[in-house]
């Protein structure tokens, strides 16, 4: 009996399908859609909740006591933010063609910063650098090592060194070639509300920028 039912279906198949085929195919398709619909809320619930998203409000930082050559670390959206006051000598080194030739993306072509800081110093005011202090390799916090040479050897030009897997960045957060980190350190949206007060997490009113569009935090 099973045999004859089988050959019947086979014949029907040759003829272009039966009512049963139709029911089986639509039934399975609906089941698949239903499964996806049921999985969606579960998967979506694991994304950042609304209160987590709301906690990303901008913060103001007063830089008046930050001396040239110093760095401070603040928290924004539970991420470490580096703010550096660079010296004129350090700024000059950022333009040295020989140093630039060692960088992976010297012109900041990858979208790792808002367009208003896509310049040679990667900042709004040349002396004040603002970076997300998260290594673009696997997320460690790079160490601020502004002095050339030292424990990293004579070839070290000064910048950031990541202790986890040895990625190196210069003093504008641009990554050197030949290290595991693929991209420059990201620059968060920021602007100056007064001469020495920077607001992190907000763009200058004239230049909209979506922080989430950054290639990689």
Partner 1 sequence: MAVSQNKLVQWIDHRLPVFTFLDHELNQYPTPKNLNYWWNFGSLAGVMLTIMIVTGVFLAMQYTPSVDDAFQSVERIMREVNYGWLMRYLHMNGASFFFIVTYIHIFRGLYYGSYKAPRELLWMLGVVILLLMMMTAFMGYVLPWGQMSFWGATVITNLFSAFPGIGNDIVTWLWGGFAVGNPTLNRFYALHYLLPFVIFAVVGLHLMALHQHGSNNPLGIDRKGPQDSVPFHPYYTYKDMFGLSAFLIVFAIVVFYFPNLLGNPENYIPANPMQTPPEIVPEWYLLPYYAILRAIPNKLLGVCAMFASIFVLFIVPWLDTSKVRSAYFRPIYKWVFWLLVIDAFALGAVGAHRPEGIWIVIGRVGTIYYFLHFLVLMPLIGWFERPLPLPPSIAEAVLKKRGGGALAGAAATRTKP
Using CB under 8 A, which of 46, 54, 57, 155 touches partner 1? 46
CB–CB of 135/111 below 8 Å? Answer: no
168 sits near partner 1 (criterion: CB under 8 A)? no
167 sits near ligand FES (criterion: CB under 6 A)? yes
User: Which residues are paired to 73 by β-bridges?
Assistant: 82
What is the torsional sign of CA 152, 215, 133, 209? Answer: positive
Using CB under 6 A, which of 130, 175, 181, 198 touches ligand FES? 181
CB–CB of 212/74 below 8 Å? Answer: no
Of 44-52, 97-105, 123-131, 161-169: span binding ligand FES (CB under 6 A): 161-169
Of 6-14, 64-72, 174-182, 188-196: span binding partner 1 (CB under 8 A): 174-182
- Among residues 6, 165, 190, 191, the one annotated as catalytic is 165
- Is 165 an annotated catalytic residue? yes
Rounded to the nearest 10 degrees, the angle between the axes of helix 19-44 and helix 2-15 is 90
Residues 6 or more apart in contact with residue 48 via CB below 8 angstroms: none
13 sits near ligand FES (criterion: CB under 6 A)? no
Residue 107: closest CA among 165, 158, 175: 175
Task: Find which of ligand FES, partner 1, none residue 79 binds, CB within 5 to 8 Å per kind.
Answer: partner 1
DSSP output for 186-205: P---EEEEETTEEEET---T
137 sits near ligand FES (criterion: CB under 6 A)? yes
- Catalytic residue list: 165
Residues that bind partner 1 (CB under 8 A): 43, 46-49, 52, 56, 73, 75, 77-80, 137-141, 143, 163-166, 178-182, 216-217
């Amino acid at each position: 009996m099973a045999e004859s039912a089988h050959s019947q279906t086979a014949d029907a198949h040759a003829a272009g399908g039966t009512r049963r085929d139709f029911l089986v195919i639509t039934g399975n398709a609906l089941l698949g859609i239903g499964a996806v619909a049921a999985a969606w809320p579960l998967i979506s619930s694991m994304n950042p909740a609304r209160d987590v998203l709301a906690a990303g409000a901008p913060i103001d930082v007063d830089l008046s006591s930050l001396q040239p050559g110093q760095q401070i670390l603040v928290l924004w959206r539970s991420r470490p933010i580096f703010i550096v006051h660079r010296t004129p000598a350090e700024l000059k080194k950022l333009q040295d063609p020989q140093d630039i030739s060692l960088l992976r993306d010297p012109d900041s072509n990858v979208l790792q910063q808002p367009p208003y800081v896509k310049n040679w110093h990667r900042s709004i005011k040349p002396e004040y650098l603002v970076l997300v202090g998260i290594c673009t390799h696997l997320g460690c916090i790079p160490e601020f090592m502004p002095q050339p040479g030292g424990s990293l050897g004579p070839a070290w030009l000064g910048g950031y060194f990541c202790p986890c897997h040895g990625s190196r960045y210069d003093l504008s957060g641009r990554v050197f070639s030949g290290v595991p980190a693929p991209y420059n350190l990201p620059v968060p949206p920021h602007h100056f509300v007064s001469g020495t007060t920077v607001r992190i997490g907000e763009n200058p009113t004239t230049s909209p920028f979506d922080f989430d569009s950054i290639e990689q935090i």
